[in-house]
Amino acid sequence: MIAIVGGGVIGLSTGWYLARSGERPVIFERGEAGRGASWASAGMLAPNMEAEPGEERLTTFLLEARRRWDKFAYELERASDISLDYRSDGILMVALNRDDVEYLRSHYRFQRGLGLDVELLDSDAVHAMEPYITADVMAGLFSKNDGHVDCRRLVTALKKAFIDAGGVLREHTEVEKIVVEDGKVKGVYCSSGFQSFEKVVIAAGAWSGSIGGLTAGVKPNVRPVRGQMIALGTSGEDALIRHAIWGPPRNWGPTYMVPRRGRILLGTTVEEMGFDTSVTAGGIFNILRGCREIAPFISDLPITEVWAGLRPGSEDDAPILGPTSVEGLYMATGHFRNGILLAPLTAEVLTECLIKGEMPEYARSFTIGRF
Ligand SMILES: Cc1cc2nc3c(=O)[nH]c(=O)nc-3n(C[C@H](O)[C@H](O)[C@H](O)COP(=O)(O)OP(=O)(O)OC[C@H]3O[C@@H](n4cnc5c(N)ncnc54)[C@H](O)[C@@H]3O)c2cc1C
């Protein structure tokens, strides 16, 4: 029997893959499944735009994950009968001054050096793609292979598909402790008492290091990294923006806008504030300031929701996956700012580990043993 601790996008997709393979996994979720970081996310699938110098190993893994998405979205929509609003129409980064243009050019050179399919655009080409954004745009960087998904629809669909495939979801049940004896997993101790399991997967997002019973070497060092978000209402008839649009880096944090049905999501902040999920005046101010520079029309749109979530950040900001030195104990955590993108690949890796007993070659450098 397999237990999964945490019912976010990672626990649910891993659970769904296992259930489809004939297992009957049990997901323990202390609240309502899908309401952690996965609910707060912008849902971008952006291995190209996320590529950063020094993170080439992670970029390769993110690209591998992106290749899974068409099939994953198709199968999940069929299994759940829920549309994910999955879009594969690319992400655009825009430059608003000369400094930004230089940044875009150097980012372009770096991305092309990695063989990524990105394109530099002049201001006319950017305006042809996005007619309503500021006339001040000087250039654009377009990554046509990136995309985005409605993460709230995603977790709702995963929850349904998981249960329909035979998985057991125990919501409002916190796992207090993993019980380990003689180097082997014996089960979990939760609010309803002890339950025996041969295998346990830690998929508790930013809280993964707080679960009892995990000792040195198998206690993931995962920290919460707060991200604030805003939703603006649109009339629904006119999308106003057609693609997800990123601003170039600013000293107050990353700026992006993501079109959804009837809404535009604006993000975000990257803050080390412990488990505090407050929405702050400074956070909201910086997001609006960055987005309004790109799209002055947002000033007239109503704010319909504000929220904050906690990204699970590992020591090197890459995920922690697969087996540990404790027999039967597995990790699926530390996905930081790419957990939505990495969900299908994580589910695949964990399913191979748990069922075939083998960590796929391409994922071996992401075990907890690397720290
Ligand atoms: C503002 C923001 C924007 C983001 N944008 C993107 C993006 O554009 N693209 C992208 O790919 N990623 C993005 N991310 C990151 C992504 O959301 C996360 O990496 C991903 O959701 C992590 O999923 P998870 O399942 O590990 O964690 P979570 O969704 O947080 O789920 C963990 C679950 O574990 C439960 N839990 C914790 N402890 C216990 C316990 N002891 N017992 C039982 N249950 C427990 C929690 O209640 C929670 O439901 C963003 C994140 C934020 C905050």
Q: What is the pLDDT of residues 300-333, one digit of tens each?
A: 999 999 999 999 999 999 999 999 999 999 999 9
In this prediction, residue 118 carries a pLDDT of 97
The mean pLDDT of 287-309, rounded to a whole number, is 97
Confidence at residue 252, expressed as pLDDT on a 0 to 100 scale: 78
Q: In ligand 1, which atom is closest to the CA atom of 338? A: 11
Q: What is the pLDDT of residue 240?
A: 92
Q: Is there a shared CATH topology between the 2-81+151-222+315-370 domain and the 91-144+223-313 domain?
A: no
Checking if the pLDDT of 276 tops 80, the result is yes
Residue 35 Cα, ligand 1 centroid: separation in angstroms?
A: 8
Q: What does the alpha-carbon distance between residue 232 and residue 147 come to, in Å, rounded to a whole number?
A: 20
Ligand 1 centroid vs 54 CA: distance in angstroms?
24
**Domains of the chain by residue range:** 2-81+151-222+315-370, 91-144+223-313
In angstroms, what is the span from residue 196 Cα to ligand 1's centroid? 26
Asked if residue 7 has its Cβ within 6 Å of ligand 1, the reply is: yes
Tens-place pLDDT, residues 22-71: 999 999 999 999 999 999 999 999 999 999 899 999 999 999 999 999 99
Q: Whose CA is nearest to atom 20 of ligand 1?
A: 339
Question: Which residues, in sequence order, are bridge partners of residue 365?
Answer: none
Q: Which of 29, 91, 50 is nearest to 249 (CA)?
A: 50
pLDDT classification of 238: cutoffs 50, 70, 90: low
The reported pLDDT for the residue numbered 250 is: 83
- Looking from the CA of residue 229, the nearest atom of ligand 1 is 1
Question: Could you tell me the fold of the domain covering 91-144+223-313?
Answer: D-Amino Acid Oxidase; Chain A, domain 2 (3.30.9)
Residue 236 has pLDDT above 70, yes or no: no
pLDDT in tens, 350-367: 999 999 999 999 999 999
CA neighbor of 287 nearest in space, from 238, 295, 134, 51: 295
User: Pocket of ligand 1, candidates 10, 17, 27, 38: which has the most ligand atoms within 8 Å of its Cβ, to mutate?
Assistant: 38
Dihedral pair phi/psi, residue 331, rounded to 5°: -115, 140
For residue 148, give the nearest of 42, 225, 248 by alpha carbon: 42
- CA-nearest of 230, 205, 212, 211 to 308 is 230
Predicted structure pTM score: 0.98
| Alpha carbon of 309 to ligand 1 centroid (Å) | 8
Residues in a beta bridge with 200 = 3, 329
225 Cα nearest atom in ligand 1: 53
Q: How far is the CA of 40 from the centre of ligand 1 (A)?
A: 8
**Domain at 2-81+151-222+315-370: CATH architecture:** 3-Layer(bba) Sandwich (3.50)
